[in-house]
A = this chain, B = another copy of it.
Amino acid sequence: MKASEQRRVTVKDVAEAAGVGVATVSRVLTGTGSASAATRERVLAAAARLDYRPSALGRNLRRRHTGGIGLLVPDITDTFYARLADGVLACAKSAGEPVILGTTGDDPEREAELIGSLLEESVERVIAVPCGDGEMWGPAFRAGLGVVFAEREVPGRNLPSVRADDRAGVRTAVEYLAGLGHRRIALLARHGQEQRVRAFREALAELGVPVDEELIVLARGTRDSAYAAAAGLLQRRPDVTAVLAGGNMLGEATVLAARELVIRIPRDVSLVMFDDVPWAELCSPPLTVISQPAHDIGYRAAELVLRERGRPRTVTLPTELIVRASCGPRR
């Protein structure tokens, strides 16, 4: 008692039913070329009657590329990237394009694999939060792939990208903390956030605060790595009075590590976290954050990759300091 195999309705069936040639059917359905009103109507009626849905397979082969957008993020579990993905999906939806999601785990090798796999599928539009250097994107460009980078850019080349204004965000946070009297400010960042590290150094320099390299610590994109980085920093340097966390996972890790070490926020150390997330307000204490328009980043990136093929553009979106209760004066 197996399900009866159902043959797919093809353009040929529609042509036959409408008494015209396949070329005419295609022309009517795609809206290209000309056809008389009577014919158009007959074709449309036949297509509707047979419940015809053109197969993307045939079309793709003929056109030699797949529709749709490839989306590469480090970790979909990180709400920042989830919101970014949501923005991409929102824009893709209005364009009727499917989205192929892949997670790199911030591993350049995995990233290269995913690029290869997208190439194999002949996907021609990709939005990526890059983690490798520019090298691995070579084959992609050579294959004519349209790429827009999000949140980060690859150094060297000048390629379209959509990013939050890291420089301004970091500067605002640092100035805010400095204004509270802090001098030994630490930065917790992910690999790939070199832009923020650079901005951090600059901001300190401008304020005349010497940069202490030991207070800049990098973590990989996992929860464990973030916790290790935060706990390590707090233990190694009990003299830090403020921490700037470069992402919500690092902020979370800092809160956790501080509790574990019985370091009170904000009495013992102040904390500013990059990226506003719903729980920042629920946290004890509510976290002061630099909010980033994650959704918009994704949406704009999708717009760029869909509508502005070829024209390399860089979009920078503003960040905002939201003061809550995780910062106090220097102890």
Q: Which residues of A contact B (CB under 8 A)?
A: 3, 5-6, 8, 53-58, 60-61, 64, 66, 68, 71, 75-77, 79, 82-83, 85-86, 89, 96, 98-103, 116-122, 141-144, 223, 252, 255-256, 277-279, 281-285
Contacts and interface: CB of A to CB of B under 8 A. Distances in A.
Contact of A121 (B56, B102, B278): B56
A79 to B, nearest CB: 6
21 contacts: A5-B144, A6-B142, A6-B144, A53-B119, A54-B120, A61-B61, A76-B89, A77-B86, A89-B102, A96-B117, A98-B118, A99-B100, A252-B278, A252-B279, A252-B282, A256-B282, A279-B279, A279-B282, A279-B283, A282-B282, A283-B283
A76 B118 CA distance: 22
Contact of A284 (B82, B120, B284): B284
Contacts of A252: 278-279, 282
A96 B255 CA distance: 37
Nearest to A4: B142
A64 B3 CA distance: 18
A71 B102 CA distance: 12
Given A6-B142, A99-B100, A100-B100, A57 B60 contact: yes
Given A53-B116, A76-B82, A101-B101, 7 more contacts: A57-B61, A57-B121, A79-B79, A89-B101, A98-B100, A98-B117, A99-B101
Most B CB atoms within 10 A — which of A89, A103, A278, A285? A278
Nearest to A75: B86
Contacts of A118: 98
A114 to B, nearest CB: 9
A313 to B, nearest CB: 17
A283 B279 CA distance: 7
A135 to B, nearest CB: 16
Contacts of A68: 100
Contacts of A53: 116, 119-120
Contact of A98 (B5, B102, B144, B278): B102
B141 A278 contact: no
Given A57-B64, A100-B98, A121-B98, A282 B281 contact: no
A103 B85 CA distance: 10
A181 B145 CA distance: 63
Smallest CB-CB A-B distances: 4 pairs: A284-B284, A279-B279, A101-B101, A56-B121
Contacts of A82: 76-77, 79, 82
A99 B102 contact: yes
A282 B252 CA distance: 8
B79 A86 contact: no
Given A98-B117, A279-B279, A284-B282, A66 B57 contact: yes
Nearest to A51: B139
Contact of A85 (B5, B76, B283): B76
Nearest to A223: B278
A117 B97 CA distance: 9
